[in-house]
Structure 1
Amino acid sequence: MKERIWLSPPDITGKELDYIKDAFSSNWIAPIGPHLNKFEETFESLLGHNKYTVALNSGTAAIHIALRLLNVGNDDEVICQTKTFIGSVNPVLYVGAKPIFVDSELESWNMCPELLDNAIKDRLQKTGKLPKAIIMVCIYGMPYKVEDIHAVAESYGIPVIEDSAEALGSTYNNRQCGTFGDMSIFSFNGNKIITTSGGGLLIVNSEAEKTEAIKLSTQYNSNPKDYTHDKIGYNYRLSNVLAGIGLGQLEQLDEKVAKKQNNYKAYRDAFEEIEAIHLQPELKGSFSNRWLNCILVDSAKSKSELMQLFEDNNIEVKSAWKPMHLQPVFKDYPNYTNGISEDLYNRGICLPSGTSLSEEDLNRITNLVTNYYQC
């Protein structure tokens, strides 16, 4: 059998080992250190717009800290995109709040602004108060309807947490994703466009918020000299060693985005004449890093058969995200749906999208699909 093609494996091809060796040789293997500082500073320069960053051990931790900074707590409600990975939603439960799920639109597969507005009005009528925050996702690296979503949020005075876990390198109107939210996050999990093995980044708008986030992510030690703790904190800080991996990865970001784009173009060109297949659309003004390439096929039956065909040929694919309102753990929470996220789940397949895919790999993948529809 041919060598396995993975969905989105890490691609370690730069100076990561040099940074790791430097951390070991200088004995900076503690959670703090020069690589960590440089990693945050590099991101602040990359993002611009007077942003401040805090490197953490996961994107999920970054959402958790963002919710804490916004004082979301018991009996509050947080609007969440139902079409997402569960890591976007779990932190809402961590702080004792209630997730409210809102469905997608077809132009980007992200949260529908009209449904968002309807959901806010309905929650206000039913509970007498507004949701405390909105967690807005760039699914598969695709920017959402920024102007429309933020216009709704601003009309009610609700802060937006921009979950750009998958969208590093994506832009909207030439502005980096991760800079639109009142707070934003990235993920550097092993399958993301750059990785620190495990890691994430919180993006805030002031030095005071950064200082508070660092305290919250380091057990809220207000006075390190005598271990005074004023609030409950967490052990969420990224280590100096892992930040070194991230620095090596960041040096290759443009190259990695270009490779992701090459994968997308290969799929687009191969499936262009197959009416049964549609790739994720892109809004005018958007540039997606195409972190994962998800295709919609003509039926749930075709999806099932194709996924089995891929597995039989030693190619890893995954289903499109199962909507959160269909998850057993969230079955009792309110949802505002239009059927789009369920259809995307029923017919969606995420294809291999790694930056190390060869032309031969891409041909193996696309030939399976085209031969299936030609039979």
Structure 2
Amino acid sequence: MTLEEGRRRLAEAMADRGAWPARSPWIRQAVDALPRHRFAPDRLWEWDGHAYVPVDRGVDEERWACLVYGSVDDAAVTQVTDGLPSSSLSCQGVVVDMLDALRLEPGHRVLELGAGAGWNAALMAWRAGRGRVTSVEADPELAASARARLDAADAGVAVVVGDGNAGRPESVPYDRVIATYAVETVPWAWVEQTRPGGRIVFPWGPLGHLALTVADDGRSAEGRVRGLAQFMPARGSRTGRGWSEVRGDTAAEAERLVERDLRPLRDDPHLRFALRVELPEVRVTTSVDDDGVNAWLHDGRCSWAALSAMGGGRVVVYQGGPRRLADEAERVWDWWRAAGSPELYEWGMTVERGRQRVWCRDPVTGPRRVASPRHAPLPPG
């Protein structure tokens, strides 16, 4: 596949899905003017089933082009640290969706947290104008590479090295703030540095991205989930232990047989999001065999659960550690169904100094939780 073929195929796939936002036609124009491959490094990384292996443009340009122009939902891994991806050229579908949520206009002053390869900043500068976008990147090498690509594109973007969570107070206020890495708790600096009425768009933890609007008095920001997104966490943040480390080789401490169709755990993004809200530290993975959908849950520390399909809708649940994660997940699942199976777009967030509330349907009357390391279950109704 050539680069031009890849560009055309990806653009058509976006159109077939309806992923080019009618409200923001400028985004497709910017993507056409600033194609992804101009911001991709010559070395990308691909999972071979066992580890991430390099794919060099000078060695296999066709494979490299396939990684740059994968599907609407495919990111291109641009950096691997200690065997794990640490930076990527984000998938085009999510980039476009988040830019649409930003509601960017010409002349807006924009702060981006996480320059990455520089592509997102270039797209925003195409819309906002030269000298209107500042991008903060924690990794000096990534910052230098992004700066070089942006300069080559004559984008007029300032790239600085720093802590994205601290924002960039030297140039406040901003009309728009956007993060390209996931946070669990919104840094107050982002709200403080955005003008009243300005918007903040960011990926929230392992699933979903939100758009918040800063209140007229600047003392809070509020908004709703705008779509699904899976982004890397802030550089240096702890991601916890993986399943095999948490599970270890100890025997299960609890075992029981249940009848529950596990397919929604794999197929229903709205259920997955409800679990993400109420059990933010719990990771859920699934697979399918002849007996049905199997699931594995762990909290990144010391509790785990395995749900093994036995056929006929029967599931054997094995659990270990101080928490019973399958029990917790079932309670959230049952609450979600009793509440009318709210969609992920019905969830929202209110951020105040020192406090962050996540709510469903209505910020005042809807069920809500206050972000904290551990929190009480959602109230019924």
- With normalisation by structure 2, the TM-score equals 0.25
Indicate the structure with greater helix content.
1
TM-score (normalised: structure 1): 0.26
Higher share of residues assigned strand: 2
Greater relative contact order, per chain length (Cα 8 Å cut-off, separation 6+): 1
